[in-house]
Chains A and B, each alone.
Chain A
Amino acid sequence: MTAMIEAHALVRSFGSTRAVDDLDLQVEAGEIFGLLGPNGAGKTTTIRILATLLAPSGGTARVCGFDVMTHPQEIRRRIGYVMQKISPTRNLLTGRQCIEMEASLYHVPRREVRARAEELLELVGLLPHADRQFNQYSGGMQKRLDLACGLLHRPQLLILDEPSLGLDVQSRHKVWDYIHDLRRQGVTILLATNYLDEADRLCDRLTIIDRGRVVVTGTPSDLKRAVGADVIQVTTAEPAPLAAAIAGQTWLQRHAVSEAGELHAHVTDAAAALPALMGIAAARSIPLETVTYTRPTLDDVFLLHTGRELREEEVTA
């Protein structure tokens, strides 16, 4: 595997704010890599450096094998960049005019511009709306048009800053599908997000960043596994006998009965433990009222490593 992005000790300061602070990043070819962090964590700043829009104050970054400082033009030819913000200044153009313009700016051969634009409008479901003006598009349609524009020159690396910001659930799932399809075609994807479910469902690997620094890097499941066990909560009239009955089972890490009389069983894998637990209850005729379980989320991962919730507001430096 070759690295598509390699950043070492990357720093970017704005006055006294260190938006990116000694960041290391390694993204391999062919993976979907996530940057997850709260507002102001430095995701967009990192992405702007990698997209050759901002010079780092320190450290080095190579994208598609080229240094961002010395060969920006080579990088620009190879990456697609979809910004977090949707710019309103194309309001008077139709969707088709927007995308055909960008196709020409990416030097798609003149004869292929029209066909390529249609192919991508089709991909994001905008072909029926191709000749409507940009300012008549809904926010989600504008976002999908921007996504299509990022694919015009068949980039090796697609950089997506908050690709599903402001999308409804349906559009979001569609965007996730395109991203999976692209990966299947060999495109590497770097995406910034502050949606936990997006990072979890979409990314092969991710880096959680906070205040410009790397908190932890890994696959979503490894990161969650490191937090610890799934918890099964059982309400029953007879918690004590049930507790006694499951004690010593191999799938059980520990258990406790709460003051409210709920049995909390910490298990390695709830999906495997649930049938076993219910089987034991049935065999001893212990009636169960409710059985629920919770798995650790990336929020718990963030909590474990920073002592704060991911959902906390804007970091003040």
Chain B
Amino acid sequence: MTEQAIARETPATRESTTAAISDWAQEVAALAKRWFIELGRERLNLVFSVAQPAIWLIFFGSGIGRAVDRQVIGTSDYTGFTLPGIVAFTVVGGGVAAAMPLMWDKEGGYLDKLMSMPISRSSIIVSRFVYQFVLASFQVAALVVVALLAGVSFELGPFAVVIILVTAGLLSLAVTASFSALAYWVPGHGTFFAITGFITLPLVFMSNAFVPVDALPRWMEIVARLNPLTYAIEAMRLPIIKGWDGDILVALGVLGAFSLACLAVGAQQFNRQTADRVQ
């Protein structure tokens, strides 16, 4: 049941394409509303989620920053240097949280109900992304405030913050989609937490989050260059410590392509839920 079947049904005319997009927007909005209502009932969750990255930044910036060699990181402002790393770390953690309700729906049976409805294969993941991106925006806002108070100067000014938000959005889409795919794929939540627990920290440390790529040992450098987080961090770091640079667009391009690929995998995993899984 499958992509071809759905492709064949996809309306060809312009009018029905508009209708399909409007339906899709209605689905995403309805599902996102559910996530925000739930957040509204658990406001402490919001408080802690927003405060946590800001505390990390203070910890890294003023604590570890003193032990860092300025020559190696290429700036005297370790707080500014590591801010993108904290954003990336936060967004990756958010991706795990984003996939959890999908797993509860799967285990509780509500996913079946959702799949029996005429909804697009991507709308659930995209609704989680919308929710997670709004949350990430609050987290970034808190981080920027703390950074400003700590004396970080953003070379690109307010535009740097825009680039950070765009990057956080793309990265958020990538991790939300891939952890959702994982949630659909695993037999139960035990496997999900074992795998996410295993990969999230290495994912962050095997990147340029806290140390520039060039300063990493050779083997870690290779891993870091293959790690999509490195590109996200690069795109956020340049506007803070250097200013405008064409590499920002390159990094965003790599990240954007990766995010779309993750979304395709996530939607396909959702689809597989109706196929011949259990043998």
Q: Which residues of A contact B (CB under 8 A)?
A: 14-15, 48, 51-55, 57, 68-74, 76-77, 79, 81, 83, 85-90, 92-93, 97, 100-102, 104-107, 110, 149
Contact = CB atoms under 8 A, between A and B. Distances in A.
Interface centre among A48, A53, A73, A88 (most CB of B within 10 A): A73
With a 10 A CB-CB cut-off, give which of B41, B104, B274 has the most chain A CB atoms. Answer: B274
B52 interface: no
A76 B115 CA distance: 9
Contact of B9 (A74, A86, A102): A74
A122 to B, nearest CB: 21
A101 B108 CA distance: 18
A189 to B, nearest CB: 16
Given A70-B8, A93-B37, A54 B274 contact: yes
Interface residues of B, number: 36
B116 A73 contact: no
B26 A110 contact: yes
A73 B6 contact: yes
Contacts of B30: 100-101, 104-105
A89 B110 contact: yes
Contacts of A69: 1, 5
Contacts, number: 97
A26 B101 CA distance: 38
B273 to A, nearest CB: 8
Interface in B11-42: 23, 26-27, 29-31, 33-34, 37-38, 41-42
A110 to B, nearest CB: 7
A104 to B, nearest CB: 3
Nearest to A149: B113
Given A76-B117, A87-B105, A101 B31 contact: yes
A71 B10 CA distance: 11
Contact of A83 (B41, B105, B112): B112
B148 to A, nearest CB: 36
B46 interface: no
B101 A89 contact: yes
